[in-house]
Structure 1
Amino acid sequence: MAVVMTVMLFSRNVGSENWPEPPWSPPVDPPTLVFRRVDLQRIWNWEVTSGHYPSRRSIPKQIGLTNPPQNPALPIKPRKTTPSRYRPPPNVITIDADTDTLGVGPKRVYLDIQSASPNVAYPPRPVPGSVADMDIIMDNCDFSTGKYVRDCLEILRLGGGLDNGQRTRRGKMDHWKYIYMELNNETTSVSETSEENVVQPNPIRRPIEEIVTQEDPDAGLQRKRGEEWETPLKLPPALTHTPSASLPEPCDPENPRTFHMFWTGPFTDKPYLALLSFLFTQNTGIHLEDWPADAKVCRPQFWLWINPGPAASIPNPNALTDMFRGLAESPWASPFLHPRFKDVIKFKLWNTTEQLDGIPEIKDEWRALQDSLFNSGGHVISVKHQQEEESASGNDTTTSTKKDDDDMLNRLGSKSSSEYDRLSVILSDMARFVLCHRFGGIYLDADTIFLRDWEELWGWKGAFAYRWSRLEKYNTAVLRMNKNSALGSFLFRTALKNGLDFHPMTVSRYMADAHLEGLLLRLPDALFDSAWLNTEYFQRDRPPQPYLTEFSEFFDTPAQSSAAPQALGFTGFFRGAYSYHFHNFWWKPFDPSRNFPDLGPKFIAGERIARASLEGKNVSLSSAVAETSEPAAQNPEADRAETEEEDDVDEDKRDLDWSTVLKRTFESYIRGERPNMYGEWIEW
């Protein structure tokens, strides 16, 4: 074979223009773009002018901006004089190169955040109004440039003051300071913002004669096949970027601090732990008797959106009443209906029709796609087609008294890896963009646990998601977008022309085809998903702590390393990361030996319901409350003792898993047995 191939190779005319094409080439995704270059320029200009691009990274040359936009989210940079020998001749203009934005914003002061003696047992809360410099984070954490998750987490710890009293590094750390404050606008003089004092971009240049010969203003852009160019977007006036120090109130109305989460099916320990971690880490004020009227902190809220039935079902007119009744009767949900949490935790009813009608960009057109609404990466699950098949086979409600709960259309929640609620997952892919575009804020998947205060992430006003492990694609398990933004308008119009497909891989194509990736920053997964690279066999030579080789090890920590959860506790779990994404596993309990809400005497009724359910008993909330004797109700300690007599520590699992340690840590804070991660005790 080798001899034959050698003879064939030398018998060819290597210089011939008839050299055959290679028999195989990698598959290329079809283009998704439906907007012209002038529209893409308008989107970039709107976002930059609105203060949604606090970055010194350049605008891609494919956008073709000839006039660099002024960037109010960047400080002014002193002018650098270009030597005359590098200046272009008069007949040459700047074009066809990456474009730098012109900083015209307030100055930045980078913070050295450390615990002050003697209060070094817990880290300090972030400074209100502080901002994370994502350029510095990308420089130190980007997997594409060979940065390790372990090193990234150390910088996040040191720069955020989470190494309280335990700093072992010595030396100057200015290049690790990634949190800054913007000074008041009044500190910037008019002369400082003049064009003479601003750094001018220095892109590659080419002669003007070469430019004017281009007749196609959209040259180089790949339009979606079979689609015409979209009509120009109707964009509102650009927003005014206002530093936190200049706001009349601590909350910016254009930047609401709302966390969104989407849930379908019975309320379980998964949203329960997400809510507990929110209370344990965020500055909700539940450590204060009353939220002060003159507070300097913008108080965050958590909106949990409940889809009341199977994703493909028609909404029940009594859905809202049924939702709150179900929450009140659920041992996992009822604690969060307590008046103490009413200002920070809100339960919202999800209605797909109502939500899509609330998006101006698609409200008049989305119904044409309602039969193929469940589109994931181009794979469409036709609900109407399946319902017609069931009707033809006699399996619909007219001929059957009971639907098959395991059928994909009727599935409500994921009970195992084989019984996965795929429709709800597809619906949540779209829901996150709907919620962020309509209301603003940050969306998180329900398999997310907060690990620190997000103050400085709120301060950074750009949009972001995070990286899909080793791939330069988006994972939208965490998604930040501004309300009614130009970027949001682009995404919904583009998705409409591509079957309303919001799968993260498809969204990655939307952004790449339009050269808008800079407007939806792809943050390193170290910030939100620190174990992901290790689970895919990357960076195992220098893993972070803990070292999880599979996501399941969060729930079933191997015996060799299962001493770490109990010995290190919460502070030893990816310290520095903002959250942890455990990637599904809805069916695995966080705490198998105590698989019930363990929140103490205030919520003992719900605990009794959950305990009875584990024993196969059916106990209602009213009967559980009635079981609480009058003396015990007047004496919570007596009720506590009555419950604890049922348990024996020797019966507990010997090696506690990471999921168990985190659950019990958050619960002990609610019980009032320990402070939160910042040393604050809950105030009832």
Structure 2
Amino acid sequence: MASFSKRRSGSFRRSLPHYSSPVQEKYHGRIYPWFVPFSLAVPGFRTRLPLWLPNARRLYQFSVSRFGRKRGFVVMLFTFAAMVFTTFALAKRFATEEKTWPAFAGDPPTLVFKREDLQRIWTWEIASGHYPSRRRLPEQLGLKTVVDNPALPPRRKSLPHRFRAPVGPNTITTRGNGPKRVYLDLQSQAPNVAYPPRPVPGSVADLDIVMEHCDFSEKKYVRDCLEVLRLGAGLDNGKRIRRGNMDDWKYIYLEQLDSTNETIPDASNDDAPGMITGVARSDVTDPDFGLTKKRGVEWEIPPIALPEPQKYRPYLSLPTPCDPENPRIFHMFWTGPFTDKPYLALLSFLFTQNTGLHLHDYPENAACRPKFWLWINPGPAAAVPNPSATGDMFAQLKSTPWAAPFLHPRFKDVIQFKLWNTTEQLDGVPELANEWRTRESLFNSGGHVISVPPKKDEDASSASASINVTSEKKSDEDDMLNRTGSKSSTSYDRLSVILSDMARFILCHRFGGIYLDADTLFLRDWEELWGWKGAFAYRWSRLEKYNTAVLHLNKGSALGTFLFRTALKNDLDFHPMTVSRYLKEAHLEGLLLRLPDALFDSAWLGTEYYQRDRPPQPFFTDFQDFFDTPLVNSAAPHALGFDGFFKGAFSYHFHNYWWKPFDPVRNWPDLGPRFNIGEKAARAAIRDSANAAALAEGKEALPVEEDKVDDDQRDLDWSTVLKRTFESYIRGERPTMYGEWLQW
């Protein structure tokens, strides 16, 4: 009994080890368990998830005891290789095309610019007023002097130098010499408190302050960020509950021209040392020390060619409300049949932006009207448009119920359809025009290259050969090369997604403006974002990477030149993860501000199990909740309406779901008598499809009946509520979110 107790407690094994073979006894001093414990951190929870993993040491013991030392080692390696191969084979077989595994550690370097060029890019952007931020510049740049910043006001010298917080000798900031800032207290004024006030023309959002309240890296909650955003913009219109001084939440300002402005030098930078910051003095002879160049390519030579910096002009100094150097153009890219997705994006634009449609005659001195350019790629992403493509595009739009309403003359000044031509667009980018044809493929996403062979009747060296389609057989209409739009989660138009990754940079660099993905809905006026002259995208959820579903680049900027030249040397890869590497390795992340996703993608963190202890309103655990709102939360959409949907955010990104209708019961454009031709056509198409299915099952055809409220779904989803809200504005049944009625 005593020996049995020792065996149960484990002390017997520790004192008298037992081996199953002489080999184990010779090469090992103990028997290892088959599995070892491992704990995994679960996002959003304090406890860790316990796991058991195979023990490599035990596997080695077993293989040696069975096959000997040499053969056992070979067997173990072969087994490990087989497991790795099986894992990737299963992933290749069952993973959908739109779901890829982004590479993280071990990515090869992408840098092709020397430090001198990086310094010139920074100074050009700052001198052009594209860095209206007080954030310090990266030490790795090696800037030796303080750069004047026309987009910042002078720093107030409130304390003597001896009382200032100490800073390092290599710390560099910009020196503001621009107009003063006056921060606004925006609220609805009685008795007009039913709707929030339209933003003040020329107002600017101080995104430094926004970052203070919204940065996920600083453990800020989306819920709290949205409250600051809506209160600072006056979107609470008469429903303010907070009490006390709210100056710290004011983030919108106006620039005031004042001839008394004087630059007050920052004492910490008066005697900036003449050395490469962040580099030891012994290495100062190498001006590019610390930079890792892309393997197999040379540095960009000659140095980067940049025009003269743009002259920064505050809003009050402009001769007209619109600045030609910073056009207010929203870009969107669409491939395939026109559906309810671009339809609702355009409606949300009309419902929220200051289009002037509430006025019969728009005054010339009124606020600058934003425009919406919807770029249509008429065929598959790899196809070349035919000579009559523009006429065909408009004929197709006119015959499509979802698109035809936006061809109405009332919208011609704010909504324009543009034909996308890949060859023409690439030739229009000076940084690419002479070299893009030498690339093996235009379709590169995160290092995954999709080759598109040339047509048999085309010269392989021609300009269009690299983007032609191999086959036009009907049997191939749904393969990767010939898809036009995503019909389901398993039939994903991956080539169009890759093309759009590149298109957004081209459009913003050539024409200026802001690009948005087509699965984006506007939720408020973007006046204050237009006022911020810096470039921006937003954060990839919890990761410190970019998501370019929203992208602002200045027209013809130095940053754009850097991105195109770098992408050219990296096989034209514009995947957001790869762009993140371009900027990080070049120390240029500060020039493309990575805004919190709360501003444009408020549900993302919640769908990835973050911040579920204090979620925003509404609370989505999956992006599909937008289209299929869970029953337990399904009272909110109808009761709260548009005002209850991520109030404060600038937009909402529903992440694909192209195949899910916004309004399953009324899946047609419901815009009233003025557009009833398209509505009747859409209704008839749905009824004909239902009747064909009924006749195939031996049932009677459906009669044409008047709509009844009892036919509607009982619980309305969020997608349905938003669609019907935007449509009611076009029908003239309600004003915009700012209380403005559409005038025809």
In the TM superposition, what is the alpha-carbon distance from 1:415 to its structure 2 partner? 0.3
User: Which amino acid is the alignment partner of residue 384 of structure 1?
Assistant: P
- Report the secondary structure of 2:123's partner residue: helix
Alignment root-mean-square deviation, CA = 2.7
- Report the secondary structure of 1:606's partner residue: helix
2:629 aligned with 1:561, yes or no?
no
Alignment partner, residue 122 of structure 2: 44
Q: 1:226 to 1:408 in 2, by over 3 A?
A: same
Q: 1:375 to 1:86 in 2, by over 3 A?
A: closer
Alignment partner, residue 149 of structure 2: 71
Within a 5 Å distance, the mapping from 1:63-142 to structure 2 comes to 63-79=141-157, 80-83=159-162, 97-142=170-215
Alignment partner, residue 20 of structure 1: none
- Report the secondary structure of 1:616's partner residue: helix
Counterpart selection for 2:670 from 578, 588, 598: 598
Counterpart selection for 1:402 from 435, 458, 474: 474
Q: Deviations over 1:239-267 (max 9, x none)?
A: 11111111111011111000000000000
Counterpart selection for 1:227 from 297, 301, 316: 297
Are the equivalent residues in 2 in contact too, given 1:103–1:198 (CA < 8 A)?
no
Are the equivalent residues in 1 in contact too, given 2:378–2:393 (CA < 8 A)?
yes
Equivalents in 1 of 2:310, 2:469: separation in Å?
Answer: 52
- Report the secondary structure of 2:476's partner residue: coil
In the TM superposition, what is the alpha-carbon distance from 1:464 to its structure 2 partner? 0.2
User: Which amino acid is the alignment partner of residue 66 of structure 1?
Assistant: K
Q: 1:171 to 1:227 in 2, by over 3 A?
A: same
Are the equivalent residues in 2 in contact too, given 1:598–1:667 (CA < 8 A)?
yes
Alignment partner, residue 82 of structure 2: none
Are the equivalent residues in 1 in contact too, given 2:144–2:273 (CA < 8 A)?
no
Equivalents in 1 of 2:584, 2:286: separation in Å?
Answer: 21
Counterpart selection for 1:169 from 234, 242, 266: 242
Q: 1:383 to 1:60 in 2, by over 3 A?
A: same
Q: 1:399 to 1:122 in 2, by over 3 A?
A: closer
Q: 1:283 to 1:437 in 2, by over 3 A?
A: same
2:513 aligned with 1:441, yes or no?
yes
- Comparing 376-385 with 104-113, greater Cα deviation is found at 376-385
Alignment partner, residue 452 of structure 1: 524
Q: 1:536 to 1:401 in 2, by over 3 A?
A: closer
Are the equivalent residues in 1 in contact too, given 2:351–2:737 (CA < 8 A)?
yes
2:261 aligned with 1:201, yes or no?
no
Alignment partner, residue 53 of structure 2: none
Alignment partner, residue 715 of structure 2: 655
Alignment partner, residue 265 of structure 1: 336
- Report the secondary structure of 1:571's partner residue: helix
Counterpart selection for 2:563 from 481, 488, 491: 491
- Comparing 438-447 with 402-411, greater Cα deviation is found at 402-411
- Comparing 480-489 with 314-323, greater Cα deviation is found at 314-323
2:416 aligned with 1:356, yes or no?
no
Equivalents in 1 of 2:471, 2:425: separation in Å?
Answer: 33
In the TM superposition, what is the alpha-carbon distance from 1:197 to its structure 2 partner? 4.9
In the TM superposition, what is the alpha-carbon distance from 1:167 to its structure 2 partner? 0.3
In the TM superposition, what is the alpha-carbon distance from 1:29 to its structure 2 partner? 1.2
Are the equivalent residues in 1 in contact too, given 2:447–2:573 (CA < 8 A)?
yes
User: Which amino acid is the alignment partner of residue 147 of structure 2?
Assistant: P
Q: Deviations over 1:113-136 (max 9, x none)?
A: 000000000000000000000100
2:427 aligned with 1:367, yes or no?
no
Q: Deviations over 1:332-369 (max 9, x none)?
A: 00000000000000000000000000000110000011
Q: 1:608 to 1:199 in 2, by over 3 A?
A: farther
Equivalents in 1 of 2:723, 2:354: separation in Å?
Answer: 19
Q: 1:183 to 1:650 in 2, by over 3 A?
A: same
In the TM superposition, what is the alpha-carbon distance from 1:384 to its structure 2 partner? 1.2
Equivalents in 1 of 2:641, 2:410: separation in Å?
Answer: 27
In the TM superposition, what is the alpha-carbon distance from 1:615 to its structure 2 partner? 1.5
Q: 1:134 to 1:615 in 2, by over 3 A?
A: same
Counterpart selection for 1:338 from 376, 397, 408: 408
2:719 aligned with 1:681, yes or no?
no
Are the equivalent residues in 2 in contact too, given 1:403–1:410 (CA < 8 A)?
no
In the TM superposition, what is the alpha-carbon distance from 1:441 to its structure 2 partner? 0.1
Alignment partner, residue 133 of structure 2: 55
Equivalents in 2 of 1:397, 1:480: separation in Å?
Answer: 32
Percent identity, aligned pairs only, is 69
In the TM superposition, what is the alpha-carbon distance from 1:405 to its structure 2 partner? 1.5
User: Which amino acid is the alignment partner of residue 563 of structure 2?
Assistant: L
Are the equivalent residues in 2 in contact too, given 1:99–1:203 (CA < 8 A)?
no
Alignment partner, residue 299 of structure 1: 369
Are the equivalent residues in 1 in contact too, given 2:453–2:470 (CA < 8 A)?
no
2:324 aligned with 1:246, yes or no?
no
Q: 1:174 to 1:62 in 2, by over 3 A?
A: same
In the TM superposition, what is the alpha-carbon distance from 1:606 to its structure 2 partner? 0.2
2:681 aligned with 1:613, yes or no?
no
Are the equivalent residues in 1 in contact too, given 2:453–2:469 (CA < 8 A)?
no
In the TM superposition, what is the alpha-carbon distance from 1:309 to its structure 2 partner? 0.3
- Report the secondary structure of 1:346's partner residue: strand
Count of paired positions: 624
Equivalents in 2 of 1:669, 1:407: separation in Å?
Answer: 40
In the TM superposition, what is the alpha-carbon distance from 1:314 to its structure 2 partner? 2.0
Q: 1:155 to 1:488 in 2, by over 3 A?
A: same
Are the equivalent residues in 2 in contact too, given 1:78–1:197 (CA < 8 A)?
no
Alignment partner, residue 19 of structure 1: none
Scaled by the length of structure 1, what TM-score is found? 0.87
* Long gaps (5+) in structure 2: 1-12, 18-27, 33-103, 458-467, 692-702
Q: Deviations over 1:561-602 (max 9, x none)?
A: 011000000000000000000000000000000000000000
Are the equivalent residues in 1 in contact too, given 2:336–2:484 (CA < 8 A)?
yes
Equivalents in 1 of 2:470, 2:516: separation in Å?
Answer: 39
User: Which amino acid is the alignment partner of residue 149 of structure 1?
Assistant: V
2:512 aligned with 1:430, yes or no?
no
- Comparing 104-113 with 311-320, greater Cα deviation is found at 311-320
Are the equivalent residues in 1 in contact too, given 2:144–2:272 (CA < 8 A)?
no
Alignment partner, residue 583 of structure 1: 655
In the TM superposition, what is the alpha-carbon distance from 1:385 to its structure 2 partner? 8.0
Equivalents in 2 of 1:288, 1:85: separation in Å?
Answer: 53
Equivalents in 2 of 1:7, 1:413: separation in Å?
Answer: 58
User: Which amino acid is the alignment partner of residue 50 of structure 1?
Assistant: S
User: Which amino acid is the alignment partner of residue 660 of structure 1?
Assistant: T
- Report the secondary structure of 2:376's partner residue: strand
The structure whose Rg is larger is: 2
2:265 aligned with 1:211, yes or no?
no
Alignment partner, residue 23 of structure 1: none
Equivalents in 2 of 1:673, 1:428: separation in Å?
Answer: 36
Equivalents in 2 of 1:612, 1:207: separation in Å?
Answer: 74
User: Which amino acid is the alignment partner of residue 712 of structure 2?
Assistant: D
In the TM superposition, what is the alpha-carbon distance from 1:404 to its structure 2 partner? 2.0
Q: Deviations over 1:92-129 (max 9, x none)?
A: xx86x341000111110000000000000000000000
Q: 1:230 to 1:594 in 2, by over 3 A?
A: same
2:448 aligned with 1:379, yes or no?
yes
Alignment partner, residue 672 of structure 1: 732
Q: Deviations over 1:56-106 (max 9, x none)?
A: 001100001010110010100123543399999xxxxx86x3410001111
In the TM superposition, what is the alpha-carbon distance from 1:28 to its structure 2 partner? 1.9
Q: 1:679 to 1:49 in 2, by over 3 A?
A: same
User: Which amino acid is the alignment partner of residue 572 of structure 2?
Assistant: L
Equivalents in 1 of 2:567, 2:245: separation in Å?
Answer: 48
Are the equivalent residues in 2 in contact too, given 1:675–1:681 (CA < 8 A)?
yes
- Report the secondary structure of 2:537's partner residue: strand
Are the equivalent residues in 1 in contact too, given 2:321–2:365 (CA < 8 A)?
no
* Long gaps (5+) in structure 1: 9-25, 89-93, 389-395, 620-642
Equivalents in 1 of 2:432, 2:329: separation in Å?
Answer: 24
Scaled by the length of structure 2, what TM-score is found? 0.80
- Report the secondary structure of 2:424's partner residue: helix
Q: Deviations over 1:362-384 (max 9, x none)?
A: 10000011x41100000000011
Are the equivalent residues in 2 in contact too, given 1:98–1:203 (CA < 8 A)?
no
- Comparing 570-579 with 214-223, greater Cα deviation is found at 214-223
